[in-house]
Amino acid sequence: MGKNLSTFTSGLVKNNPTFVLVLGMCPTLATTSSAANGMGMGAATMFVLILSNIVISLIKNLIPDKVRIPAYIVVIASFVTVVQLLMQAYLPDLYNTLGVFIPLIVVNCIILGRAEAFASKNGVWASALDGAGIGLGFTLSLTLIGMVREILGNGQIFGMDLWQGGGALIFVLAPGAFIVLGYLMILFRKLTAKTK
Amino acid sequence: MVLVLFVICAVASAAVAYVSQITAEPIEQAKQQKVVAALKAVLPEFDNAPVAASVEGFEGAYYEAKLGDQTVGYAFESTSPNGFNGNVKLMVGFTADGTIVNIEVLEQAETPGLGTNMTVVDNPLLLSFKGKQAAEMNMTVKKDGGDVDALTAATISSRAYADAVARAYAAFKSVTTGVVEAYTSATQLKAQAEEGGAACGNCTKEEAKECGEGPHGKCHGNCKHQ
C-alpha cells in the first residue's frame, strides 16, 4: 500500500504536471481565466488520464512496440471524444466555456506522457493511481491558477464577488496567465524545496 | 502488427459510436432547452410552443409567441459576425408593437472580463435596449453617434452586440410589415459613405454619387447625397 500511496501522491507534489513537469501548458494557460473553468478542464483531463492509463496498462502486452504510439493515440482520442459527447449532453454550459480545449486534450502531452512513461510499464491498479494522482495534481494546479487570476482580475472567486469594482483585467487576459503561472511556479518550488 | 492496430481502432470506434448514439438525444435536448430558456427570458408571457421560422433577408431563426390567439411578441436569433473574437449571437425579444423586451446572449467568444460583460445581468449594453421602443432608437454605440452605452473598454464587442440587435429589428420589421427590409450594418454604411455614395434599392453607387446634384427621384435610403 505504501508504494501505491507514493505513486498517487507523487503526481500531486514531486511530479506535479504543471509546476514541476511543466507539461500541458496550452490548456493550462488558456482555460484558467476563472477557477471554475480551470477545475472543469482539470477534471476532464483527469477522467481521460485515468481511463487511458487503465486501458493502456491492460493492453500493453498486446501492442507491438512499433505501433504503440498510434495505438495509445487511438485509445486516448476515443476517451476524449466520449468525454466531449458526455459533457455536451449533460454539462452544456461547461462545454460551451471550454469549447475547443476539450478535443485538444488528445494532444495534451501529460496523457501521452503518462501512457508512455508509466502505464506501459506498470500494472492496472498502479496505472489507475498514477492517472488519478497526476490528474488530481493537474486539476488542483489549474484550479489554483484560475483562482488567483479570478481574484486579481475580477475580484471574484468561483463567480462570487469578493469585493465590488473588479480588479486588474490583465490577469484575466493572456499575459496574466503567464505572470500568475510564473509566480506560482516560484512559490511551489520554494515550498517544496523546504520540505525536502 | 497491422492487425492489432486494426482491432484497436475497430473497438475504439465501436465504443465511440455507441456513446455518440446514447448521447445524441440528450445533446439535442440540451440545445432545445437552451433555446426555450432563452425564449422565456426575452419574451412577454406566452403559452404556445414557438417553432423556429425563417424570414427573407435574415440568417437566423425567429419565433412567434402567442398568448391564446393573440401574438404577443417575436424573438430573433440574431448573429453579428463583427465580434472581437468571432460571432456574437443573441436572442432578441420584441413585443408585437416593437418594444425590446429583453436580450439574451446565446454565443460569444469575446475577451474575458471585458467583452464577456455583455452576458452580465443588467449590463449597460443591455439596459440601453431593454424596454425601449426599437423604432425610436439609433442602434449604434454613443461613440458612433448612437444611443447605446458601450461596455467599458469593449467598444468592438459593444458594436457587434448593437449590430446583432439592429439585424434583429430589421428582421422584425420584415416579419411584421411583410416587406423585406434589407439590412445594412453600421460599418458597411460608414465604408460606403467614405467611398462617396452608397448603392441602395433603386440606384447604383454611381447614380448615388450624382443624385445630390441632379433631380434623381429614385434615390433614397442609404444614399449619401440624399
pLDDT in tens, B111-149: 767 788 888 888 888 888 888 888 888 888 888 888 888
Checking if the pLDDT of B161 tops 60, the result is yes
Q: Output A187 or A12, whichever has higher pLDDT.
A: A187
pLDDT in tens, B12-33: 999 999 999 999 999 888 888 8
B146 in the same domain as B96: yes
Query: What is the average per-residue pLDDT within A32-38?
Result: 85
B159 in the same domain as B53: yes
Residues 103-142 of A with CB under 8 A from B: none
Between CA A158 and CA B83 the distance in angstroms is 26
User: Are B197 and B205 within 8 A, CB to CB?
Assistant: yes
B170 in the same domain as B69: yes
Does A92 contact B at CB distance below 8 Å? yes
Between CA A102 and CA A48 the distance in angstroms is 11
Does B1 contact A at CB distance below 8 Å? yes
What ipTM was predicted for this assembly? 0.73
Residue B214 lies in a domain: yes
Is B12 within 8 Å of A172 when comparing Cβ atoms? no
Checking if the pLDDT of B218 tops 50, the result is no
Query: What is the average per-residue pLDDT within A142-171?
Result: 83
3-state secondary structure chain A: CHHHHHHHHHCCCCCCCCCCCCCCHHHHHHHCCCHHHHHHHHHHHHHHHHHHHHHHHHHCCCCCHHHHHHHHHHHHHHHHHHHHHHHHHHCHHHHHHHHHHCHHHHHCHHHHHHHHHHHCCCCHHHHHHHHHHHHHHHHHHHHHHHHHHHHHHHCEECCEECCCCCCCHHHCCHHHHHHHHHHHHHHHHHHHHHHC
Checking if the pLDDT of B197 tops 80, the result is no
B167 in the same domain as B198: no
pLDDT in tens, B51-106: 888 887 788 888 888 888 888 889 999 999 888 888 899 999 999 888 999 998 88
Between CA B20 and CA B23 the distance in angstroms is 5
Per-residue model confidence (pLDDT) at position A16: 85
Residue B16 lies in a domain: no
B190 in the same domain as B88: no
What is the domain extent for residue B100?
Answer: 27-183
Residue B17 lies in a domain: no
Shortest distance between the Cα of A153 and any Cα of chain B, in A, equals 8
B115 in the same domain as B47: yes
Per-residue model confidence (pLDDT) at position B31: 82
- Give the least confident one: A40-49, A79-88, B58-67, B190-199: B190-199
Q: What is the average pLDDT score of chain A? A: 86
The C-alpha cell at A76 is 486516448
| B4: nearest CB among A64, A82, A169 | A64
| A71: nearest CB among B5, B20, B111 | B5
Is B109 within 8 Å of A99 when comparing Cβ atoms? yes
B208 in the same domain as B105: no
B200 in the same domain as B161: no
Between CA B89 and CA B121 the distance in angstroms is 17
Residues of B within 8 A of A33 (CB-CB) are: 112-113
Domains in chain B: how many in total?
2
Between CA B186 and CA B140 the distance in angstroms is 7
Shortest distance between the Cα of A40 and any Cα of chain B, in A, equals 17
B190 in the same domain as B177: no
B105 in the same domain as B122: yes
- At B225, the pLDDT band (50, 70, 90 cuts) reads very low
Nearest CA in chain B to A84: B20
The percent of residues above 90 in pLDDT, for chain B, comes to 16
B104 in the same domain as B37: yes
Q: What is the average pLDDT score of chain B? A: 79
- Give the least confident one: A94-98, A126-130, B81-85, B135-139: A94-98
pTM listed for this prediction: 0.70
Per-residue model confidence (pLDDT) at position A137: 92
Query: What is the average per-residue pLDDT within A129-147?
Result: 92
Per-residue model confidence (pLDDT) at position A90: 87
Q: Which of B3, B9, B16 to mutate to test the interface with A (most CBs of A within 10 A)?
A: B16
- At A136, the pLDDT band (50, 70, 90 cuts) reads very high
Per-residue model confidence (pLDDT) at position B206: 54
* B60 CB-near residues (< 8 Å, 6+ apart): B54, B76, B77, B78, B79, B89, B171
Which DSSP state fits B151?
Answer: P
CA dist A57 → A23, A109, A126 (Å): 21, 17, 9
Most confident region among A98-102, A170-174, A176-180, B187-191 by mean pLDDT: A176-180
Backbone phi, psi, residue B46, to 5° = -140, 160
Checking if the pLDDT of B221 tops 60, the result is no
Q: Which of B1, B2, B23, B151 to mutate to test the interface with A (most CBs of A within 10 A)?
A: B23
Which DSSP state fits B14?
Answer: H
Nearest CA in chain A to B114: A169
Residue B206 lies in a domain: yes
B137 in the same domain as B221: no
Shortest distance between the Cα of B29 and any Cα of chain A, in A, equals 8
